[in-house]
Amino acid sequence: MKPKSPVIFSLSAIVAVLSLLAGGQAVLSQDADDAPTEDAATIPFALPKSGPFDAADIKIDNNEAITNWFRSAHADAAAEAFRHWDEDEEIKPACAACHSGEGFRAFHGLDGSEPGVIDSPINTGGVVDCGTCHNAGLAEVTEVKFPSGLMHPVQGVEASCMTCHQGRTAGVNVSTAIADMDLDTPNPELRFVNPHYATAAATWLGGYGAAGYHYDGRSYSGRFFHARPVSTCNSCHEPHTLEIDFKPCLTCHQADSMQDIRISRQSYSGTGDISVGIRADIQTNAALLLDQVKAYAKDVAKVPMVYDGTRYPYFFADANGDGVIDESDGKAVAYNAWTPRSLRAAYNWKLVISDPGNYAHNPPYILELLYDSIEDLSGPLGVDMQSLNLLR
């Protein structure tokens, strides 16, 4: 008996079968006697209909965007921002909204869940993926809540930026923590209030967003408005690389780099040097404030401190003043002699340095927070503010 001819499947038929197994929608029919037929309109991907072919030759319309994203911090799967929870094998709901694309979608209800809350931990291994910023459901997100309680209106992808770059706390958290306490009496119940990291959106909104601790009787600059075309995060940052093209800045500013741009012909740091960018004034005043926080701890609270930016909660006890962090049971001792005055100043300092781009996002607001914090500590330290030649 003559054997039957073997069944020969085309590449497109094999692809369709694999698609069906994976939950795809390809529709094909094939038998031993009929030529393959296909409904090409239902195949959710495109491949050449005949081979051999080189995969590198297949045109991908958004290949450049994907390549740019892949080399950005948002896609850095090895970064601490995405690896911090590896030992737990899950990301806490409180953290997942910004440290996982899956968590972000759950937080805003873009996955069909209730918006505003993440019901359960999220799997590790995710990054800020395409669906974080390109989900069609973002069009329905019209406002984002900030730690201060502010509900800020947003449009489209702005919701992504504002959700994840606002920090975790605000000045109101500090006010609540120190309420009804004597300003200069150490309280062992006080703990450092951490504004968190990469707080660019909070900086940008300034006093309107109320991220910093605002001293009584002081007014604070609001949202930092640039030239009219520069009105959103994507006005300056390339949305996939996150990099900034300096050329447009030269339309209005004369400088060799963004860091060299100066917004005023007066010195805020007391150095009198206006040949440097405003970033230099901010850095000088921030360094002065940290020195004062340490001096206050030693001379007023009577418990010296050590700052270590590599581990939380950053400020540690140094009871004997030898410059070495105290330990108990092999663990570093967190600073435990905060007063209301030192806590609010340290909070403002940390908020300032948590946004490396503060000099561009809102320099007036940043300089105000630094000045007021320095002035507040200068009193008990016996420092003459006039002698510092600082400007607010």
Q: 164-189 pLDDT, tens per residue?
A: 999 999 999 999 999 999 999 999 99
3-state helix vs strand vs coil in the chain, percent to 5 = 40, 5, 55
Q: How does the average pLDDT of the chain come out, rounded? A: 89
At residue 68 the predicted structure's pLDDT band, cuts being 50, 70 and 90, is very high
- Answer whether residue 45 shows pLDDT above 80: no
CA distance 96 to 99: 5
- Pair of tokens at residue 282: 């901010």
CA dihedral 94, 99, 105, 108 (to 10 degrees): 40
Greatest C-alpha distance within the chain: 110
Name beta bridge partners: 153. Answer: 143
Identify the residue whose tokens are 């120190």: 178
Residue 16 has a pLDDT of 45
- Pair of tokens at residue 241: 């690389």
Q: Give me the half-sphere count of Cα atoms (radius 13 Å) on the Cβ side of residue 316.
A: 20
- Answer whether residue 363 shows pLDDT above 60: yes
- Pair of tokens at residue 100: 């996982």
Cα R_g (the chain), whole angstroms: 28
Residue 31 has a pLDDT of 44
Average pLDDT, integer, range 206-221:
98
At residue 48 the predicted structure's pLDDT band, cuts being 50, 70 and 90, is low
Answer yes or no: are the C-beta atoms of 270 and 388 closer than 8 Å.
yes
Average pLDDT, integer, range 242-265:
92
In this prediction, what percent of the chain has a pLDDT beyond 70? 87
Q: Where are the beta strands (DSSP E) in 69-160?
A: 143-145, 151-153
Residue 58 has a pLDDT of 76
Instruction: Kindly give the residue spans of alpha helices, DSSP state H, lying in the chain.
Output: 11-21, 63-70, 80-83, 93-99, 101-107, 130-133, 158-164, 171-178, 200-209, 233-236, 278-299, 340-353, 358-361, 363-381, 385-388
- Answer whether residue 39 shows pLDDT above 70: no
pLDDT in tens, 270-317: 999 999 999 999 999 999 999 999 999 999 999 999 999 999 999 999
Element (H, E) at 165: none
- Pair of tokens at residue 4: 């039957």
